[in-house]
Amino acid sequence: MTSVGIVDTEHGGDERGNEHSTANLRPVPSSNRNGVLEMMAMRRDPFAYADRRMAQYGNISGLNALGLKLVVTGGPRAASEILMNKDRAFANGPAWSYFIGPFFNRGIMLLDFDEHRHHRHILQQAFTPKVLKGYMAEMQPIIAERVAAFPTGKVKLFSEFKELTLDVALEVFLGMELPKHEADKLNQAFIDTVRAGVAYVRKPMPGGRWWKGLRGRKVLEEFFYANIAAKRATQTPDLFSVLCHAESDEGDRFTDEDVVNHMIFVLMAAHDTSTITMTQMAYWMAKHPSWQDRARAQSLALDSELTYDDLGKLDALDLIMKESLRLCPPVPAQPRMAIKDTSVQGFFIPKGTIVSVSQMTNHRDPEFYTNPDIFDPERFGPDRAEDKGHRMAWMPFGGGVHKCIGLYFGQMEIKTILHQLLRGYEWSVPADYQIPMDYSSLPVPKDKLPVQLRRR
Ligand code: HEM
C-alpha cells in the first residue's frame, strides 16, 4: 500500500510551498495495482469493487488510473465537503474535461466559479415552472402518440425509451420539423459525441470513437449555427428559442457561441439520464407487479393528458422513481479536480488530484438505508424518510452549485411517459430475470430490458 500525496507535517505546507495547512492530515491510502486493472474491475462490478476497497482502505482511497491521480471517496460527509466546496478547492472543468471536454466544450457543467454562476443565472430562465409548463404542453402529444404505437410481445423497452426521448428532444429542445434524413443525421452525431467520452483510444484515429465524436460535434455545431438567426427572430416554446432569448435578472444574455455550447451539452445531459431512469423504473415494476398496479391505479384516476399539477398526484411513481434512482443513479459518480492543496475528511489531497464522489456507494450506505440492496420504495415515504438522514444520502442529481438544472424537466418527462405506458399496457419479466448492467460508461442494460408487453 502507498499513499497519494506527500505530507510534510513538520512544516504545515506541501513540497510546492503552498499555504494550505497539512498538519495532522493523513495521507490517502492507495493501492499499488495497475490502474487499468483497477478500472476494469470497477467497470465489471462497481458494487463488489467498492465493497472491496472500502473493506481494505476505508471510505477514502487512491489509485493510479490511466495516468491520473484519482482519489475515490465514499459516504455523504465526504460528498458534502467536496460538492459544497466551501474553500473553492475543487473545480469541475479540469476534471470533466478529461472525459468529455472535446465534445462538450464549454458546456455549463465544465465551467467554474464566477463564470459558471454567470451562465447558470441565464440558463435557469429555461427551467422556471412557467417555461417547464410550455415544454410539457409540447411533449404530451408526441409521447401519447408514440407510446400508443409501441409494439407488443417481446419488446426491448430500453430501445423504445431511447428512441422516444430522442424524438421528444428534437421537438421540445429544437422545436423544429426536420426531414427524416436530417433528424437521423443529428441523432447519429449526438450519439457519437456521447459515446466518445468513454473511448479507450483517446485520439482521433479514423473510424474510432474519438474521431466519430469530434465529427459529431462538428455536425451539431454547424446545425445550431445555421439555425440560430431564425431562432433569435421569433420566440417559440422550445429550449433552443428560450436560450436565444433568456436574460438573467441582471440583463445578461447568451452569445451565439454560448447558445450552441449549452444546447449541445443540455441535449447530452438530458437524454441518457432520463432513459436510464425510466428503464430502471420499468424493470422494478415488472419485478414487483404490485407496484406496477399501484402506479397504474393512480394513472387511471387521472386523464390521459396530464397537467403540470397532476405530476404531484402520481406519488407511487414518485416513490418508484426515487428508489430506482437510489439503486441505479444514472450518473454513478462525479469527478472534481483539486486546484489547490486541500483535504477531505482529514485526508490530504494535493493540488492536481482528481477526486470522485460516488453516489452509487452513498446510496447503499447502511448507516442511512435499511437493507440497502433491496427494492423498497416505501423507505422514501414520510414515516421512514431514510433519504433525509443526510443531505447527500440521496443525491442522484448531485449537489452544490452544479446540482442538476434539469431535475424537474427530467422527472416531468419520465412521469409523462410512464403514465402513458401504465394506462395503455401491462408488462412482465420472468421471475428469475435480473437486469444485466453494463457499467462501462453510464449504466445501461446489456440486453436492453426485454419485457412481455401486452395492451390492456
Ligand atoms: C433522471 C435524470 C437526470 C439525472 C439523474 C441527472 C443527474 C445530474 C447530475 C448528477 C449532475 C451533476 C454533475 C456534477 O455536478 O458533476 C447533473 C448536472 C446537470 N444536468 Fe442533469 N440529470 C438528469 C436529467 C437532466 C435533464 C433532463 C437535463 C436538461 C433538460 C439535465 C441538465 C443538466 C445540466 C445542464 C447539468 C449541469 C448543471 C451545472 O453544471 O450547473 N439533466 N445532472
Q: Residue 385's Cα: distance from chain center in Å?
A: 23
Q: Which residue has the higher pLDDT, 22 or 58?
A: 58
Categorize the per-residue pLDDT at 6 as very low, low, confident or very high, splitting at 50, 70 and 90: very low
Predicted local distance difference test score (pLDDT) of residue 66: 66
Which ligand 1 atom sits nearest the alpha carbon of residue 239?
A: 30
pLDDT value of position 435: 98
| Under 8 Å between Cβ of 391 and 115 | no
How far, in Å, from the CA of 83 to the mean position of ligand 1?
Answer: 14
What's the pLDDT at 357?
Answer: 97
Going by CA atoms, what residue is nearest to atom 1 of ligand 1? 274
pLDDT single digits (tens) 242-259: 999 999 888 999 999 999
Q: pLDDT at residue 180 above 60?
A: yes
- Determine the pLDDT at residue 15: 37
pLDDT tens digits for 371-418? 999 999 999 999 999 999 999 999 999 999 999 999 999 999 999 999
Ligand 1 centroid to Cα of residue 405, in Å, is 6
Cα–Cα distance, 263 to 107 (Å, whole number): 8
How far, in Å, is the centroid of ligand 1 from the Cα of 403? 7
Q: Cell numbers of 164, please?
A: 422516444
Residues 6+ apart with CB under 8 A from 394: 322, 325, 326, 363, 387
Looking at ligand 1, which atom is closest to the CA of residue 336? 16
Protein residues whose CB sits closer than 6 Å to any atom of ligand 1: 92, 108-109, 120, 266, 269-270, 273-274, 277, 330-331, 334, 396-398, 402, 404-406, 409-410
User: pLDDT tens digits for 35-72?
Assistant: 778 878 888 888 888 888 899 999 999 987 767 789 99
The residue whose CA is least distant from atom 20 of ligand 1 is 404
Residue 2 confidence (pLDDT): 46
Contact 74, 49 (CB under 8 A): no
Ligand 1 centre to CA of 104 (Å) is 14
pLDDT > 80? residue 323: yes
For residue 334, the ligand 1 atom closest to its alpha carbon is 16
Length in residues, the chain: 456
Query: What is the per-residue pLDDT for 7?
Result: 35
At residue 166's C-alpha, the angle toward residues 321 and 276, to 5°, is 30
Q: Quick: pLDDT tens for 184-234.
A: 899 899 889 988 877 777 788 899 999 999 999 999 999 999 999 999 999
Q: Quick: pLDDT tens for 79-89.
A: 999 999 999 99
Query: What residues does 63 pair with on adjacent strands?
Result: 70
Tens of pLDDT, residues 327-363? 999 999 999 999 999 999 999 999 999 999 999 999 9
Q: Average model confidence (pLDDT) for the chain?
A: 91
Please report the pLDDT score of residue 40 as a whole number: 81
What is the reported pLDDT for 39? 78
Query: Under 8 Å CB-to-CB from 432, ≥6 apart: which residues?
Result: none
pLDDT for the residue numbered 17: 40
Percent of the chain with pLDDT over 70: 95
Give the per-residue pLDDT at 21: 63
- Give the pLDDT confidence score for residue 11 in this predicted structure: 33
Closest-CA residue to 377 (of 418, 428, 296, 322)? 322
Grade residue 170 by pLDDT with cuts at 50, 70 and 90.
Answer: confident
- Which domains, and CATH codes, for the chain? 2-455 (1.10.630.10)
pLDDT value of residue 236: 93
Check residues 249 and 277 and name the one with the higher pLDDT: 277
The pLDDT assigned to 9 comes to 29
Q: Which residue, judged by its Cα, is nearest atom 32 of ligand 1?
A: 406
What backbone torsions phi and psi does residue 84 show, to the nearest 5 degrees?
-75, -25
Mean pLDDT of 421-434: 98
